Chain A
């Protein structure tokens, strides 16, 4: 009984079996978005002092430094190894340091500790490179003076050689990044956590949970956009809301963009300006979920006119009832009563949602979001910044980067966060829909 009829998009049963949808799943894979803090962490460096000392002095010197620079404990250096052997440093540092290595051998005649270390000069002195402190905390002259008052520099001919090098200011967010930084900057320790975004294992589990069907939902979203576009009601942008519990999947809402839909449901005569911003696909789909929840709720919430003298005509402005066949197919009462907003739901959009829609997704407390194409001029989810804002045009944005909002994951500011991916298409024809880059999706 579930055989799709010509012109019918679905299936009457839940959970939906994707093969019963008439859409062809898009081929591709999920790529997790970088959070704003992750991108900041990847770029920010600080200058630190590094000195060379015999291994036996390493601990003592770090203690001296700790006492001499009280502010050191306010700086988080946990991702940076403090004591490193030459061979574990990046190549350019190895070259730099070995060319300026000091004549420690001569110390053996003056210092006791070196005598133990060197055992009569038979064994070469083992050297270590110490990351002392950020340069912002102490001047190099002060540091040198402090070191001179302690072994092995005290009463020695050898004066400390203080190098200044840049290192990543913040902890790495993945093992790959830690490895890369170790080659580029300094030996980095990685603790399999991500203080600047979702935990790697949480992200991996979530991606594995949704990846197999993401291409199907994106194809369905695309169909929704194509249908409203074909009716001249909106841009070719579409959105699907899914409830996934275990292996069960329910399609709760399908909506195409309807910004060019007038109050009576016909296309507006002149497509000028932004159109009806409230009828973006994401806003419509969220509205449909709200309407479904009201329908299945036990109590009558009261008429819409309760809200500030609202008249009935304004309901059409939201465009959150079906306009096309595919939207109608899923506007059924397939939602459990008692749910709240879009908690635990996933949303799939053909294009990166604009700032308004990104924040609407956050307000609605979605769990996960996947979008098809980036919208670098208007998108609210990606965190990449415009490459240059110093070109004199204050309101220009760089077409190849983004607006830098990263709205999906700013927990210290926005009080809700969700996981977000972009879809990397693996098929020629599965590419972007034909919308202008300056459009707000």
Chain B
């Protein structure tokens, strides 16, 4: 990836991070995304599982619903996704079925990742066309937001939220760690 390409991708990942910040402010797991076609953002999404009481309302689905309300499904074949956390297995499969062109993400998702974190749904044998993925764009920022969320939830004493991990492992107050260790939250498995 040359500098110019890097700048291009980082520009959209910054937009995805803004959506994740919005999620954090609404007590949702901070995952945000934008879908980009021809250099234009055609859809934005943030995680919405807690508000909707629906565990499938991930950022990608929110944005997809918005896009498909205005565009034909075929638009996705010329569209790239920028998402702060690696798509989960469900979203990875949905994106492949819809025919997404490419996926760019921030940090890996060791719990449910579908594009390398746990499974490789984007490229496994299957009836739908595989798609390429690039991970690690603003990875530290994505991880920091997830950490802020866990600390924030812990301070509120709420444990019933859908996060990447089902339940906090311990109830004692956590402190916000600011050091990003290479192998801490995500591990490069691809």
Give the segment of B66-74, B78-86, B142-150, B176-184 that binds chain A.
B66-74
In the complex, which of the residues A301, A308, A364 contacts B56, with contact meaning CB atoms closer than 8 Å? A364
| Given A263-B69, A290-B52: A359 in contact with B165 (beta carbons within 8 A) | no
Per the bound structure, the CA–CA distance linking A357 and B112 in Å amounts to: 14
Q: Which residues of A contact B112 (CB under 8 A)?
A: 359, 363, 414-415
In the complex, which of the residues A317, A355, A364 contacts B65, with contact meaning CB atoms closer than 8 Å? A317
Question: Which of A290, A294, A301 lies at the interface centre, i.e. has the most chain B CB atoms within 10 A of its CB?
Answer: A290
> Smallest Cβ distance from A176 to chain B, in angstroms?
30
Q: Report the interface size class on chain B.
A: 35 or more
- Do B127 and A360 touch across chains, with their CB atoms under 8 A apart? no
- Do A359 and B55 touch across chains, with their CB atoms under 8 A apart? no
Give the segment of B1-9, B116-124, B132-140 that binds chain A.
B116-124
| Given A308-B63, A363-B56, A403-B124: A301 in contact with B89 (beta carbons within 8 A) | no
Interface residues of A in 25-49 (CB under 8 A from B): none
- Do B69 and A314 touch across chains, with their CB atoms under 8 A apart? yes
- Do A293 and B126 touch across chains, with their CB atoms under 8 A apart? no
- Do A359 and B93 touch across chains, with their CB atoms under 8 A apart? yes
Q: Which residues of B contact A306 (CB under 8 A)?
A: 26, 51
Tell me the number of A-to-B contacts counted with CB atoms below 8 Å: 159
Q: Which residues of A contact B118 (CB under 8 A)?
A: 413-414
| Interface majority SS (helix, strand, loop, mixed), chain A | loop
In the complex, which of the residues B55, B70, B74 contacts A363, with contact meaning CB atoms closer than 8 Å? B55
- Give the interface of A toward B (CB within 8 A): 263, 273-278, 283, 286-287, 289-290, 293-294, 297, 301-302, 304, 306-311, 313-318, 340-342, 354-357, 359-360, 363-365, 377-378, 380, 386, 389, 394-397, 403, 405, 407, 413-416, 438, 440
Can you add 17 more A-B contacts, CB < 8 Å, to A287-B56, A378-B127? A273-B73, A275-B73, A276-B73, A286-B54, A290-B53, A290-B54, A301-B52, A302-B51, A307-B51, A308-B46, A314-B66, A317-B64, A340-B53, A356-B93, A364-B54, A377-B126, A413-B118
